[in-house]
Amino acid sequence: MKISKSAVALVALGLVAPFVLYPVFVMKVLCFALFACAFNLLLGYVGLLSFGHAAFLGTGGYITGYMMMEAGLTPELGILCGTGAAAALGAVYGKLAVKREGIYFAMVTLALAQLAFFVYLQAPFTGGEDGMQGVPRGHLFGLIDLSDNMNMYYFVFAIFLFGFWVVNRTIHSPFGQILKAIRENEPRAISLGYNVNDYKWAAFVISSALAGLAGSTKTLVFQLASLTDAHWHMSGEVVLMTLLGGMGTIFGPIVGAGAVVTIQNYLSGGELGNYIHIIMGLIFVICVLAFRSGIVGEFQKFMKKNFS
């Protein structure tokens, strides 16, 4: 009940946002929110800390960019290709990574993501550190001109809602219940007869596909795909977004992504620009020390304590 009310509020907020805020900025927030939601599915609901999610964001972006520039596909097909490629990569990486747990899982994903990073650094089609530039936004279904910011915005918003719905649906399905069981007590899940590694793998693929979807969309919004998206810094940033917003909550990653992107955007123009990394680091430290369940997590606790 509470979720649906909040969801209505979210949709309403999303519909009016471009009239109040600068649309490209909101689109950026939505892309990162989707990315963080995908990441949260793994960290918050299966308890797997992937430190290589940038590989999927980057893959989605590069494949979409390449397909739209070289093969001249329409945006929806381009995004589909990018998402598919990220899912395929996630299937391979996931298969290898879920064999290990805890810190080793994180290290394996990081190592695999670095492999992808160096491929994108060297492969001729990505343009190296210059990135892939001038990706056309194109016409949605060959009809709607996406170079108009408002059209683009509602397209991105629809994609975001779809991704959010997929995450939500996954979490609240019987499949999601098993994921949570694995998070809480893996040996018990095994003793109940679940093939834990297959469940983890499936969750990993869903998560990487959604991360790829976020990357594909981001490429269309900014009309470029760059190494930034595939760099391990990005894998770290999504951890920050998820923790800041509230790991294991539905809305946490959205709030976290919004907060991080806003801070970055604000600092990049101001006098504090030089200290952006220090400030982000401090926020991370404060978050871990003082409010571990994140903004949304603390808010929920507060509501529970005082109003129920």
Partner 1 sequence: MKPMKKSLLTAAVATAFAVSGAQAAGISDDKVKIGVLADMGGVYSDICGKGCVTAVEMAVEDFGGTVLGKPIEIVSADDQNKADIGSAKVREWVESEGVDAVNGLVASSVTGAVTKVLTDNKKIALISTSASHAFTTKACSPYNAHWTYNVVALANGTVKPMLDAGKKKWFFITADYAFGHALEKVATGVINSNGGEVVGAVRAPLGTTDFSSYVLQAQSSGADVVALANAGADFVNSLKTAAEFGLTETADVAGLLVFTHNAKALDPNIAGGMKLTTGFYWDMDDETRAWSKRFKERHGTIPAMGQAGAYSMTMHYLNAIKEAGTDDADAVMAVMKKNKPNDFFARNAELRADGRMVHDMYQVRIKKADERSNEDDIFAIEQVIPGDVAFGPMMDQCNFTAKK
- Would you tell me which residues interact with partner 1 (CB under 8 A)? 22, 24-25, 28, 121-122, 127-131, 133-134, 149, 218, 222-224, 226-229, 264-265, 267-269, 273-277
Which lies closer to partner 1 via its Cβ, residue 74 or residue 228?
Answer: 228
Q: Where are the beta strands (DSSP E) in the chain?
A: 132-133, 139-140, 144-145, 224-225
Spell out a b/e string for 100-136, using b for 16 or more CB atoms within 10 Å of the CB, else e. eeeeebbebbbebbbebbeebeeeeebbeeebbeebe
Read off the tokens for 239. 């951890």
Report the distance separating Cα 267 and Cα 279, nearest Å. Answer: 9
Name which of 47 and 131 has its Cβ closer to partner 1.
Answer: 131
Smaller CB separation from partner 1, 209 or 224: 224
State the nearest-atom distance from the C-beta of 283 to partner 1, in Å.
17
Nearer to partner 1, 104 or 275 (CB): 275
Q: CA 126 to CA 124: how far, in whole Å?
A: 6
Cβ of residue 90: shortest distance to partner 1, in angstroms? 22
Structure tokens of 100?
Answer: 């290990």
Rounded Cα distance between 232 and 56, Å, is 11
CA-CA distance, 113 to 127, in Å (whole number)? 19
Q: How far is the CB of 178 from partner 1 (least distance, A)?
A: 37
Q: Decide: 171 and 252 in contact? Cβ < 8 Å.
A: no
Give min distance, CB of 267 to partner 1, in A.
Answer: 8
- H helix intervals, 98-173: 102-122, 149-171
The single-letter code of the amino acid at 224 is L
Which one, 80 or 267, has the nearer CB to partner 1?
267
Q: What are the two backbone dihedrals, phi and then psi, of residue 224, each rounded to the nearest 5 degrees?
A: -155, 150
Using the minimum distance from each CB to partner 1, give the nearer residue, 201 or 222: 222
Q: How far is the CB of 26 from partner 1 (least distance, A)?
A: 11
**Closest distance of CB 163 from partner 1, Å:** 19
Instruction: Give the C-alpha separation, 43 to 33, whole Å.
Output: 15
Residue 86 is encoded by which pair of tokens? 């990220």
Judged by beta carbon, residue 250 or residue 260, the one nearer partner 1 is 260
- Smallest separation, CB 135 to partner 1 (Å): 9
- Using the minimum distance from each CB to partner 1, give the nearer residue, 127 or 236: 127
Largest CA distance in the chain: 59
Q: In DSSP terms, which residues pair with 140 in a beta bridge? A: 144
Least Å from the CB of residue 7 to partner 1: 28
Q: How is residue 228 annotated by DSSP? A: G
